[in-house]
Structure 1
Amino acid sequence: MRIVVQRCKQAKVSVDNRVIGSIEKGLTLLVGITHEDTEKEAGYLAEKIAGLRIFEDAEGKMNLSVQDIGGAILSVSQFTLYGDCRKGKRPSFISAARPETAKPLYDRFNEMLREKGLTVETGEFGADMDVEFTNWGPVTLILEHPFN
Structure 2
Amino acid sequence: MKVLIQRVSHASVVVEGQTIGAIDKGLLLFVGIEKTDSTETLERMANKVLAYRVFSDDEGKMNLNVQQIGGGVLSISQFTLAADTQKGLRPSFSCAAPPAEAQALYDKFVNLLKAKHSPIATGEFAADMKVSLLNDGPVTFMLTM
TM-score w.r.t. the length of structure 1 is 0.95
Q: Which residue of 1 aligns with 2:17?
A: 17
Give per-residue Cα distances to partners, 1:18-70, cap 9 Å, x unaligned: 11100000000000001110110000010011111110011111111100000
Q: Cα RMSD between the aligned structures?
A: 0.8
Distance 2:117 2:28 in 1: 17
CA displacement at 1:85 relative to structure 2: 2.2
Q: Which residue of 2 aligns with 1:119?
A: 119
2:25 equivalent to 1:59: no
TM-score w.r.t. the length of structure 2 is 0.97
- 1:86 is paired with a residue of what secondary structure? coil
Q: Structure 2 unaligned segments of length 5 or more: list them.
A: none
2:54 equivalent to 1:49: no
Percent of aligned pairs with the same residue?
49
Worse-matched range after superposition: 80-89 or 124-133: 80-89
2:142 equivalent to 1:137: no
Distance 2:89 2:49 in 1: 33
Q: How many residues align?
A: 145
Q: Which residue of 1 aligns with 2:31?
A: 31
Distance 1:118 1:140 in 2: 21
CA displacement at 1:17 relative to structure 2: 1.6
Distance 2:144 2:118 in 1: 21
